[in-house]
Amino acid sequence: MTTIVPAAGWTGAFLGVAASLSLVIQGFRAQYRPRAVRRGQLAVSVWIMLGGAVLSMVALEVALLTDNFTVSYVADNHSRESPWLFSITTAWSALGGSIVLWCLVLAGYTAVVLRQVHSTEDRLGTGALAVMGLVGVFFFALVTTVANPFEILSNPPDDGPGPNPLLQENILVAFHPPMLYLGYVGFTVPFAFAISALLLRRGGVAWLRRTRRANLVAWSFLSGALVLGGWWSYEVLGWGGYWAWDPVENAALMPWLVATAFIHSAVVQVKRGMLQAWNFVLVLATFALTILGTFLTRSGVVLSVHSFTESGIGPAFLGFLLVVLVGGFGLFALRGERIASLSRPESLASREGTFLANNLLLTLFAFVVLTGTVYPILLETLTGDQISVGRPFFDRMAVPLGFGLLLTMGVGPFLPYRHATAGVIWQRLRVPLLAASVSAAVVVLAGVRSLGVIGVVFTAVLIATGTLRQLVISSPTRTPRGFVRLLAGQRAYWGGQLAHLGLALLAVVIAMTGAFDTRSTVTLQRGESTTFAGYQVTFQTTRQYPAPNRQVTEARLTYHQGGQVVHVATPRVSTFRNRQQAVGTPSVWSTATEDIYVALADLRTDRVTLNLYRYPLMIWMWIAGGIIVAGGFWALSSRIRLRSGSETGEAAPMSRTVDDSASSDAAQANPDA
């Protein structure tokens, strides 16, 4: 039994390699000779690919839950004392297991794409399956070679060190990595369809329509992963923050920025026949950034508190990244002249004009983050000099770009396509502008002098009131039932607006917490008190107690206000039996208006040194994240209106013009059009 499980896991991965390779051969063959391949042959490859991935993941989980230390991955990352939840999550807490999870998610997406391909006459679909097979060959091959978690040890240990202590401190480890992978891997689908369309020399909007759901699924999950990642850092790391422009954090942000640009520019191409070549560039860049992000996270080339793996897998990922960049953009260059669209926005004062501005800002934002993240690595590689690009660089660049993005969000969705006259703009924006100006004035009268906060409040109110105005004037009846009918009838548009509201709220919270946070470091003897953020904080005592896999030492603090105890905080330090590293866990007291956050800097029997933080409105940051994700899934729930020919995947031949003007006429009257 001890060797059967790892053998089964490795066999699953090997089956995945073989099935992926078969899918590549059959898929490309079907793309050029549809009648030479039967759909059943493609289906067999896909289902074996999925079955192999499931077998590998199940084998890994069984090995962890049965304490099978003959398996190298279990010996390196598991402990007999690990609680069962963290035994399960250990499957994706280190390199080999995370690649197995990648294979499983990729195989799942491939099976979903197969459902779209009803026959081998669907050349766009069969080509996409072939490209997904190519990606599968790489990742399954990693599991069978340099990232093999199923190696059998000749002298297995009796116990292991357990997962990294930081991965045993919060239940979010069960959700953040899987959501991140659902986002990362999901962008393989539009990449595969884009490559298939380029190979077929076909442009048009068919490949965009067929990847819309995959785009939204991947974007929504990646959005959720970013928010959960920030929340996890805030609750676990004890440094009092949620975002540090850490290379690993940036690795997830970069594809999100470019994918967000792609979602908007895809709408412009579908509605107005513009930006066809630009959409290919964005899709290729998004997929390449997911590979770059995995390389940064899993290769150990960057030092990060969020990087839980150091390995020699870097060259393999770097090679695959080069293949993606050279192959993808090389193919794009060969087809570039045929896919360039002659259509241009008639005026920048239009919805497509603001979408174009939004695209440029998002891609510039991604380029800034990419530069700040990769430059130190390149410099060290070329010269051996070690430097770091810190928070001041990112903040200085990100803040003006963020303001620009908020403004385009506040104006763009409410403008008509083609051209907006000054009269139309004033008619649609005068109420939101008035409300935003009044809000900014109220903030100033309240004593706020931070231009950043005033500007963010102005644009957030502009977005909120603009959305509300659009809802009221578009509703067939100004009743709750009418509003619900409108939201349900135009889910794509209103899902986007909901996501914009979430981003506006997020921007307000970021501005508030940055401008009005309070910090203090104090040392207290037992029984002593200090005043912080309107509370009297008293160090009462310390307590030690054993937990299932650790020894815990906690400090007991009481918060008094008006002579009454209003809260008891217990920040702690945990020492894991099989790990040298002691891990501090902050205590966070969240209310609707503020967070009181306390972390231990030093703890002794009769003395404690505390890092105290107060963040206004912090809980609304996580709520804003939930609203953004909800907007993505609300848009996802809309029905896709396929046009003739797109059901079989036959896209229009690439041409220098795309006739899609009919829908743009409707767009003047319908915000969803």
* 606-660 pLDDT per residue, tens: 999 999 999 999 999 999 999 999 999 999 987 655 444 444 444 444 544 333 3
Distance between CA atoms of 130 and 115, rounded to whole angstroms? 14
Using the predicted structure, report yes or no on whether residue 165 has a pLDDT greater than 90: no
Kindly report the average pLDDT of the chain as a whole number. 89
The predicted model gives 515-542 an average pLDDT of: 95
- The residue to which tokens 């209003």 are assigned: 566
Q: What is the tens place of the pLDDT at every residue in 243-295?
A: 989 888 899 999 999 999 999 999 888 888 888 889 999 999 999 999 999 88
Q: What is the DSSP string of 450-492?
A: -HHHHHHHHHHHHHHHHHHHHHHHH-SSSSHHHHHHHHHHTHH
Q: What is the tens place of the pLDDT at every residue in 33-61?
A: 999 999 999 999 999 999 999 999 999 99
Other beta carbons within 10 angstroms of residue 434's beta carbon come to 13
CB 77 within 8 A of CB 163: yes
- The residue to which tokens 């077929």 are assigned: 200
| Amino acid at residue number 269 | Q
Run of H or E residues at 181: helix 176-186
Structure tokens at 419: 């051209």
Q: What is the tens place of the pLDDT at every residue in 285-331?
A: 999 999 999 888 877 666 655 555 556 688 899 899 999 999 999 99
Percentage of the chain surpassing pLDDT 70? 92
Q: What is the DSSP string of 513-566?
A: HHHH-EEEEEEEETT-EEEETTEEEEEEEEEEEEETTEEEEEEEEEEEETTEEE
Q: How far apart are the first and last CA of the chain?
A: 59
Distance between CA atoms of 569 and 588, rounded to whole angstroms? 8
Q: What 3-state class would DSSP assign to 309? A: coil
Q: What is the tens place of the pLDDT at every residue in 218-234?
A: 999 999 999 999 999 99
